[in-house]
Amino acid sequence: MTEQVDTIIVGGGQAGLSTSYYLKQEDREHIILEQTDQVAKAWRERWDSFTFITPNWMIRLPGAEYQGDEPDSFMARKNIIDYFKDYIKLFELPIRYGIQVTSVESIETGYLVRTNKTDFEAANVVIATGMYQHPRMPSFSKNLSSEILQLHSSKYRNPEKLPVGAVLVVGSAQSGCQIAEELYQSGRKVYLSVGSAGRLPRRYRGKDVTRWMDEMGFYDRTVDKLPSAKAKFAGSVQGTGKDDGHTINLHQFVRDGVVLLGHIQSAQDNQIVLAPDMRDNLAKSDKLEADIVKQIDEYIEKRGLDSPRETLPELRDGFEAEELLNLDLKSEGITSVIWATGYKFDFSLVKLPVFDEDGYPLQKRGITEYPGLYFIGLPFLYTSKSGLLHGVGDDAAHIVSVIETNGKT
C-alpha cells in the first residue's frame, strides 16, 4: 500500500522542522520522516557538557526566535533538546519517528519515496538530512591495538566513561578542542593531534566575535563569494561556549600540559607515525585570529564606532614545544583515542543525477532542476548561515514559497 502525500520532508532536524513550520503556515499537506525514535538526534549525540558555540541570540528557528534575557550566553545540551521538543509541540509539526528513507525515485506523478516501513508518493520531496550523517574515521584506525579504546567524538560522553590513563584526541576543530580541554581539566594527560582549523577570539573590543561578524555581513556571504567550490567544506573553527564562553588557544593548552602533535600519517598496534606539521598548523590557527581582528578593527575605524581598543594575548608556547614524529601509545600510558575527525555526507538515497563530483547537490538555493525536489540545511547552500540555526529558516521560507507557487500553477 502506497501512501499519498503532497510534500515529504526527509529528516527531522533544524532544517526539516523549519521547512515544516512554513508549510504549516501555508496549510499545505506534508509529513516529516525521521529515522531515529526521538527528536534532536544530532544534539543528543554530543557529550554531556556540550553547549552551542554560537550564543543564544543566533537561535532563530522560525516562529521561536530567542527572546530570553541572556542573548550572549550559550545554550546547554539539555536545553537544546528541550528547545526542539517544545518547537514540535508548539507548532504541532507532523513528524513520524523510526522511518528510514531508503530511496527517492522519480515517477510520472512526482516522486516515490521508499522507506523501511511503507512507501509514499509525493509531488514534492525536501531532503533535510544535513551534512553530518556518518562519523568519519581514518582507515588505519583499524590497525591500532585492541587494548586501546577508540571512540568517534559523537560517542564520547565524559571523562569518567573512559578507562584510566592518558588520552589521544585526534582533530583540533570545535569538538576536538572542547573535548581535549575537558579531559585535561579533569586531570587527564592529553595528547592532541592538531589540524589546520583556525582560532577566533571569543570576545573582542566589547562584543562576542559573532556580533561583529554578523554586523560585517560575514554570515550573509553567498556561495559565489568563496575562493573555490570546495571551500564550503572547510572545517569548523576553534571555540567553545562552555562556562559562558572563552577563547580556545592551543598555546594555552601547551602551558596547561597538553602535548601537541602533527597529523597522524599511519598507525600500527601501539605505534603512531606523525607528520612534522604541528607548528605549521599552529601558525594557521593564529593567522585566522589575526585576520579577523584586523577586519574588526578596520570595520570599527571606518564607521567611527565607540569601541575601546584591545590587544589580545600573543602566546607562542606551541612553537617552542618539542615536535614528536613518533608516538608509542603504551609507553605514554595512552589507553583511549578519540577521533574528532568529522563526518561524511551521503545523499545516495536520491536516485537522480543531481550531484557534483563531490557528491554535493546541484541546486540554486536548494532548488534542483527536477521540479519538486529540494535540499536544505547544508553549509553554503546559499549563504554562510544556511546550515545554522541562525539562517536555515531563511532558506526554508524560500523553498516553501517555491513549493507554494508551483502548487498554484
Last residue of a domain, one of 339, 367, 388: 339
pTM attached to this predicted model: 0.95
Distances (CA, A) of 250 to 99, 185, 204, 262, 341: 42, 14, 18, 13, 17
pLDDT tens, residue order, the chain (409 aa): 799 999 999 999 999 999 999 999 999 999 999 999 999 988 998 999 999 999 999 999 999 999 999 999 999 999 999 999 999 999 999 999 999 999 999 999 999 999 999 999 999 999 999 888 889 999 999 999 999 999 999 999 999 999 999 999 999 999 999 999 999 999 999 999 999 999 999 999 999 999 999 999 999 999 888 888 788 887 789 999 999 999 999 999 999 999 999 999 999 999 999 999 999 999 999 999 999 999 999 999 999 999 999 999 999 999 999 999 999 999 999 999 999 999 989 999 999 999 999 899 999 999 999 999 999 999 899 999 999 999 999 999 999 999 999 876 4
The closest of 28, 29, 33 to 17, measured between CA atoms, is 33
Same domain, 369 and 328: no
Residues forming beta bridges with residue 246, ordered by sequence position:
240
Strand intervals (E) in 11-117: 30-34, 95-97, 101-107, 110-115
The closest of 325, 330, 324, 192 to 269, measured between CA atoms, is 330
Write the DSSP string, 298-312: HHHHHHT--------
Report yes or no: 54 and 389 within 8 Å, Cβ to Cβ.
yes
Q: Is 61 exposed, middle or buried (0-12, 13-18, 19+ CB in 10 A)?
A: buried
Same domain, 254 and 317: yes
Same domain, 46 and 188: no
19's grid cell: 521547512
Counting the structural domains of the chain, the total is 2
Rounded-to-integer distance, Cα 80 and Cα 51, Å = 8
Same domain, 125 and 26: yes
Same domain, 250 and 386: no
Same domain, 201 and 328: yes
343's grid cell: 563526518
Longest dimension (CA), the chain: 71
Last residue of a domain, one of 280, 313, 339: 339
The closest of 75, 232, 246, 231 to 177, measured between CA atoms, is 246
Same domain, 71 and 173: no
Same domain, 208 and 270: yes
Domain that holds residue 97: 2-133+345-407
Rounded-to-integer distance, Cα 227 and Cα 268, Å = 38
Same domain, 241 and 315: yes
Task: Please list the alpha-helical segments (H only) found in 304-350.
Answer: 317-320
**Lookup result for grid cell 530511496:** 103
Which residues, including other chains, have CB under 8 Å from residue 321's CB and lie 6 or more apart?
254, 259, 260, 278
Same domain, 314 and 234: yes
Rounded-to-integer distance, Cα 18 and Cα 390, Å = 11
- For 78, what's the count of Cα atoms within 13 Å in the CB-facing half-sphere? 2
Q: Is 402 exposed, middle or buried (0-12, 13-18, 19+ CB in 10 A)?
A: middle
**CATH number for the domain that contains residue 78:** 3.50.50.60
Which residues, including other chains, have CB under 8 Å from residue 69's CB and lie 6 or more apart?
none
The pLDDT score that the predictor gives to residue 233 is 81
The closest of 85, 104, 97 to 44, measured between CA atoms, is 85
Report yes or no: 143 and 268 within 8 Å, Cβ to Cβ.
yes
Same domain, 176 and 285: yes
Rounded-to-integer distance, Cα 227 and Cα 384, Å = 13
At position 264, the amino acid (one-letter code) is I
The pLDDT score that the predictor gives to residue 291 is 97
Last residue of a domain, one of 302, 322, 339: 339
The pLDDT score that the predictor gives to residue 408 is 62
165 Rama sector, left if φ>0, alpha if ψ -120 to 50, beta otherwise: left
The pLDDT score that the predictor gives to residue 255 is 98
Same domain, 310 and 217: yes
Chain centre to alpha carbon of residue 408:
36
